[in-house]
Amino acid sequence: MARDELSVARREPSNDTIVLGLLDAVERDPAVTQRLVARELGIALGLANAYLKRCVRKGLIKIGQVPRRRYAYFLTPRGISEKSRLTAAYLAHSFSFFREARIQCGELFAALGARGQRRLALVGEGDLAEIASLVAREHPVEIVGVVVAGSDAARLRAALEALGPIDAAVLTALEQPREVFAATLAVLGAERVHAPPLLRVPAAAAVPANGKR
């Protein structure tokens, strides 16, 4: 391979990066076009088309029709699960992960402290929980404990209750954050469950900087 070709190849997004970007784009906008996906990911239109077809064959995306003879793309349950897995892998190896996690956790803790939710539990062990625990020391909040993430609401309830009184829970699970978020919501309710934006859970989890929803 020539030096110029090798240089270009090194700049090409990896297979997982392309799949993650494609799944993310479809989830954000089912009416997204292949041309827009190609532009966002910095790949050729033909390559975007090939990856889209591959995701359809793998059962990650299904195709439907919308008015004006256009197509819409939707993530299947399998596609949502794969996106969660790829997101966790990407975050864990991203050079910007620590910086982004630190900033977002700091903003979240500041907002929660302002609204009076100061005794917090972290749901999910691992890198993000460790970063959140360190950042919490700089804000008027207290991390009373970290519980193992899971989608079983009954087990999650028991683990949270074992910590004693808490004001809210912050999601720090990198694996299957949507499922864990849903289980935590079932236990504590929307007003007491929060997550940093990097986990890409439903917008209802977000707390603006003024501390109000």
* pLDDT tens readout for residues 145-178: 999 998 999 999 999 999 999 999 999 998 889 8
Domain membership of residue 210 (yes or no) is: no
Residue 69, pLDDT score: 61
Mean per-residue pLDDT over the chain, rounded = 85
The range of the structural domain enclosing residue 64 comes to 3-93
Answer with the one of 93, 125, 145 that is the final residue of a domain.
93
Q: Helices 34-41 & 15-28, crossing angle to 10 degrees? A: 130
CATH number at 171 reads: 3.40.50.2300
Confidence label for 30 from pLDDT (cuts 50, 70 and 90): confident
Domain membership of residue 16 (yes or no) is: yes
- Residue-level length of the chain: 213
Residue 118, pLDDT score: 97
Residue type, 186: A
> What's the whole-number mean pLDDT along residues 174-185?
91
**Cβ-based neighbours of 211, under 8 Å, separated by 6 or more:** 111, 112, 113, 114, 115
Q: Specify the range with the lowest mean pLDDT, choosing from 3-7, 117-121, 143-147.
A: 3-7
Indicate if 182 and 101 belong to the same structural domain: yes
**Cβ-based neighbours of 66, under 8 Å, separated by 6 or more:** 30, 31, 72
Answer with the one of 47, 72, 93 that is the final residue of a domain.
93
Domain membership of residue 212 (yes or no) is: no
Q: 145 or 18, which is more confident? A: 145
Which of 103, 113, 120, 80 shows the shortest CA–CA distance to 198? 103
Residue 29, pLDDT score: 87
Indicate if 73 and 141 belong to the same structural domain: no
The rounded percent of the chain whose pLDDT value lies above 90 is 50
> What's the whole-number mean pLDDT along residues 173-187?
92
